[in-house]
Structure 1
Amino acid sequence: MHALRKNHPLRRIVLASAATVSGMVLLLSLKPHTTPAAVVSAGATAPAVQGTRTVTGDSVQTRWGPVQVRVTVKDGRLTDVTAVVYPTDNPRDQEINSYALPRLRTEALTAQSADIDTVSGATYTSDGYRQSLQSALDSVSG
């Protein structure tokens, strides 16, 4: 008797495995949609203002707590970004933010905008940081 005959259990296993692999390939080939925050921040650069202005962005509520940043723009160039409010309620928050906030600051100063990458492991903080940064940049020019 052949292993893949119609009533043999191995046939069901082979077909189920093939269906599962096909489904996973289709699922992984889907492209994720763009979040509204990323769309808003795309292409927004430091405003061209004369002199030095320091502005605090909106406080953005994230899953783990509020995030708020303060920016300094000097002659149209982003010169400083400081997180003034961020989650610190537990040791895990403190650990995540100890590596995420310096990276986000460096990204913002390099990009000269809110068009920055998310730090792996700190998705909610990164999203809040980006949104607060964008609101601060908007306030500087307005």
Structure 2
Amino acid sequence: MRRAVLAITGLAAGTTALVVLKGAPGTSQVAQDLPADQASVVPGSSAAPGATPDPAASAGYPYPGASPSRTPNARTSTGARATTAPPQATTAAPKTTIRKVTGPVVSNKYGDVQVQITLSGTRIVNAVALELPRETAQSSLRSDKVDAAYSGTSGQVVRRQNANLDTVSGATYTSNSYKQSLQAAIDRA
């Protein structure tokens, strides 16, 4: 039984290979009768001047115009090769809008915090602290830590795309105010 299945499979594969090879453009009467300016391009040959190269030929498909989605040996009732229309040009994707949204000023016992986010479409691409506590050297140092952790194009805001951020150690009030202003900016967006 197994031998019969293998024999039938081998016969089918051999027949398919013969049909594909016999259907190549260089061997059919239709391909040979084309005028010189419309000559088909055969892989390995030079293309006609001014002709655009066929990407299928460089991708290793058996003949020009072949691709995995086309039937390699489709013929019409007259024996001529069936052609498919070239792909229609698609409209350009809409331009992504870049916009900035500013959160409210959130106060805490060390000062005020205000955050602005930059969006490309619906994705946050940047976050900036417009206002941070700077009253004392200590509050300025803490604000710098918060700004370094959250803001910028590679900060937690951009990586996480939300206001669920890790609290900066030693700067809990400033971190929480930053998150509140950020969440309000996200809500406005």
Partner of residue 98, structure 1 = 144
Q: TM-score, normalised on structure 2?
A: 0.47
Instruction: Give aligned-pair identity as a percent.
Output: 35
Consecutive aligned runs of 4 or more in structure 1 exceeding 4 Å deviation: none
How many pairs align?
Answer: 91
Q: 1:85 aligns with which of 120, 128, 131?
A: 131
8 Å CA contact 1:104–1:119 kept in 2: the answer is: no
RMSD: 1.0
Shift of 1:92: 0.7
| Secondary structure, aligned partner of 2:167 | coil
Report whether the alignment pairs 1:118 with 2:167.
Answer: yes
Q: TM-score, normalised on structure 1?
A: 0.61
| Secondary structure, aligned partner of 1:67 | strand
Q: 1:47-86 to 2 correspondence within 5 Å?
A: 51-86=97-132
| Secondary structure, aligned partner of 2:104 | coil
Greater length-normalized contact order (CA 8 Å, ≥ 6 residues apart): 1
More helix by share: 1
Shift of 1:59: 0.6
Task: In structure 2, list runs of 5 or more residues that go unmatched.
Answer: 1-95
- Structure ID, larger Rg: 2
Give deviations 1:46-92, integer Å, cap 9, x for gaps.
xxxx5111011011011111110001110111011000011001111
| Alpha-carbon distance in structure 1 between the residues aligned to 2:133 and 2:158 | 22
